[in-house]
């Protein structure tokens, strides 16, 4: 079978799922030679089996809003692959959540978790709820209804969710409380928990910190560092916050943040405790518009625009899938951008990725560069399992070591003959090999 025929079969089986096909194609194109030249993988049909989720559940979420009206949303959990550990991956509340989005995220998560070096399979879940403007009471009732169904599919050795877009510590708390009541047990069934009831230090910052640690490794291969670099960041949530904090700490100047309304250009830098605290406050209030940042800190706001038009040495897309297209990539390249590290999942379109690779810009995919979040979730699981808690320094040191490890795996599997490090290829091959071998070891089941 040729790669083309293989992809045609996958497309036919998953109609109307463009994001899922995009993610699968991005992986298949880079691992095909590795796959097809391994008789054991082919005999076990591991690639097709890896693409097919082991289980998908979809369910109704009825709930009562503050006006007393009964609402209904749709919830999902995609349990993609459990070859190397229990299903693991976040829960997203976003109006555009559908099966295509969650299947792409669960597929990517499987390879990401494999790269993390920790024993975690891949999954993702969510609901088509728009959390913007919802009261705390509404979010609690909604989350309780969501968990009333989901809990039976979870367990510390079965499936361990966490947060994602629209779900942070508060919603994780509501999920945990509901699970604890229904299961009548206090276990580490979800990560991103509060620090007083089983959470890990550094988990809130971990995705953004990890992205910057990874970026630091990329820069090292070019003989440079973050010191004095201009950084363009998109998004206005947990990942952007962690990335802005760590990039600042390591000597870079973060000049942009963005929301669905546009972007802000802060030439003095997103670099004060007041600005970081404001980001946390907005995230906790589920407010992702940045125009008010511009007013509060007296900086320009560009309505309806994306930050990729500014001059920056480094781009950290930290918002949402497909937020940086081929034209954005061309603008960044023209302006001298040398490194792109994806804090979000699949933020660069295939055209953007190809443009960066052609221009020899070092581009790291989310499955490598944002792996710090789920890795620290894995560290939270380890602490829960052993009933202990590690210091901030211990967790941060482990996170740094993991990010360095992943970077090394990308270098090993992705370095081209001219020395260019193709992180897309490197991360896909490294992530795939581990899962594929585990699947072969465990038989056709
Ligand atoms: P955020 O709260 O920052 O949410 C991202 C927001 O981006 C959404 O609310 C969305 O708004 C907004 N958005 C949509 N389009 C654009 C755009 N063009 N420019 C800027 N913003 C836009 O979520 P997180 O920080 O938690 O997650 C951000 C990304 O990081 C996601 O891709 C997530 O999957 C990924 N990630 C998160 C991890 C975590 O631990 N939280 C771990 C690893 C990856 P709207 O609702 O209006 O569409
Ligand atoms: O995309 C991701 O890796 C996350 N949202 C974090 C998942 C997790 O289980 O911590």
**pLDDT by residue for the chain (445 residues), tens digit each?**
999 999 999 999 999 999 999 999 999 999 999 999 999 999 999 999 999 999 999 999 999 999 999 999 999 999 999 999 999 999 999 999 999 999 999 999 999 999 999 999 999 999 999 999 999 999 999 999 999 999 999 999 999 999 999 999 999 999 999 999 999 999 999 999 999 999 999 999 999 999 999 999 999 999 999 999 999 999 999 999 999 999 999 999 999 999 999 999 999 999 999 999 999 999 888 888 999 999 999 999 999 999 999 999 999 999 999 999 999 999 999 999 999 999 999 999 999 999 999 999 999 999 999 999 999 999 999 999 999 999 999 999 999 999 999 999 999 999 999 999 999 999 999 999 999 999 999 999 9
Residue of 103, 112, 124, 134 marked catalytic: 124
Which residue is closest in CA terms to ligand 1's atom 29? 344
Q: Provide CB contacts within 8 A for 387, sequence distance 6+.
A: none
Find out whether the beta carbon of 320 lies less than 6 Å from any atom of ligand 2: no
Instruction: Name residue, tokens 């979809």.
Output: 58
What b/e sequence results for 11-42 when a residue is b if at least 16 CB atoms lie within 10 Å of its CB, and e otherwise? eeebeebebbbbbbebbbebbeebbeebeebe
162 lines ligand 2 (CB under 6 A): yes
Q: Is 124 a catalytic residue?
A: yes
The ligand 1 atom nearest the CA atom of 366 = 44
Structure confidence at residue 288 (pLDDT): 85
**How many angstroms separate the alpha carbon of residue 124 from the centre of ligand 1?**
15
Question: Which residues have CB under 8 Å from 77's CB, separation 6+?
Answer: 56, 57, 123, 124, 125, 150, 153, 159, 161
Q: Pick the atom of ligand 1 nearest to 239's CA.
A: 25
Atom of ligand 2 nearest to the CA of 105: 1
This prediction's pTM: 0.98
Number of residues written out for the chain = 445
Ligand nearest to the CA of 190: 2
Task: Return d(Cα 219, Cα 213) in angstroms, integer.
Answer: 10
Six-digit token pair at 76?
């999902």
What CA–CA distance (Å, rounded) separates 177 from 171? 10
Is the minimum distance from the CB of 345 to ligand 2 under 6 angstroms?
yes
In order of 19, 165, 224, 309, the CA distances from 100 in angstroms are 6, 16, 39, 30
Edge-to-edge strands, sheet with 339-341: 301-303, 262-265, 253-259, 230-233, 314-316, 339-341, 362-364
């Amino acid at each position: 079978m040729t790669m083309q025929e293989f992809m045609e079969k996958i497309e036919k089986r998953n109609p109307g799922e463009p994001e899922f096909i995009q993610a699968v194609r991005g992986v298949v194109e880079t691992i095909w030679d590795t796959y097809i030249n391994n008789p054991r993988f082919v005999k076990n049909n591991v690639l097709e089996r890896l693409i097919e989720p082991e289980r998908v559940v979809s369910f109704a979420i009825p709930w009562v809003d503050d006006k007393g009206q009964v609402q209904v949303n749709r919830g999902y959990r995609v349990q993609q692959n459990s070859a190397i550990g229990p299903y693991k991956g976040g829960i997203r509340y976003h109006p555009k959540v559908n099966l295509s989005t969650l299947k792409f995220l669960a597929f990517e998560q499987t390879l990401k978790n494999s790269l993390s070096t920790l024993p975690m399979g891949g999954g993702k879940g969510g609901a088509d709820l728009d959390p913007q403007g919802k009261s705390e009471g509404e979010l609690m009732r909604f989350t309780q209804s969501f968990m009333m169904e989901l809990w039976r599919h979870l367990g510390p050795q079965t499936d361990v969710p966490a947060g994602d877009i629209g779900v942070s510590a508060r919603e994780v708390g509501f999920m945990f409380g509901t699970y604890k009541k229904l299961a009548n047990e206090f276990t580490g069934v979800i990560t991103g928990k509060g620090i007083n009831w089983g959470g890990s230090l550094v988990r809130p910052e971990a995705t953004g910190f990890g992205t910057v640690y990874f970026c630091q490794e990329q820069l090292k291969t070019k003989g440079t560092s973050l010191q004095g670099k201009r950084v363009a960041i998109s998004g206005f949530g947990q990942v952007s916050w962690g990335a802005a904090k760590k990039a600042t700490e390591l000597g870079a100047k973060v000049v942009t943040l963005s929301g669905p309304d546009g972007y802000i250009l802060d030439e003095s830098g997103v670099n004060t405790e007041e600005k970081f605290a404001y980001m946390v406050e907005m995230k906790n209030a589920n407010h992702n518009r940045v125009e008010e940042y511009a007013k509060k800190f007296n900086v320009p706001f560009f309505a309806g625009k994306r930050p990729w038009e500014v001059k920056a040495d480094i781009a950290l897309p930290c918002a949402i899938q497909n937020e940086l297209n081929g034209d954005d990539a061309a603008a960044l390249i023209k302006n001298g951008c040398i490194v792109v590290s994806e804090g979000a999942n699949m933020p660069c379109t295939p055209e953007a990725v190809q443009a960066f690779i052609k221009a020899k810009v070092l581009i790291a995919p989310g499955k490598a560069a944002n792996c710090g979040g789920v890795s620290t979730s894995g560290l939270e699981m380890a602490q829960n399992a052993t009933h202990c808690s590690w210091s901030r320094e211990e967790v941060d040191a482990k996170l740094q070591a993991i990010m360095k490890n992943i970077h090394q795996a990308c270098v090993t599997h992705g370095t081209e003959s001219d020395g260019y490090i193709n992180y897309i290829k490197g991360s896909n091959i490294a992530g795939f090999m581990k899962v594929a071998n585990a699947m072969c070891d465990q038989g056709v089941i």
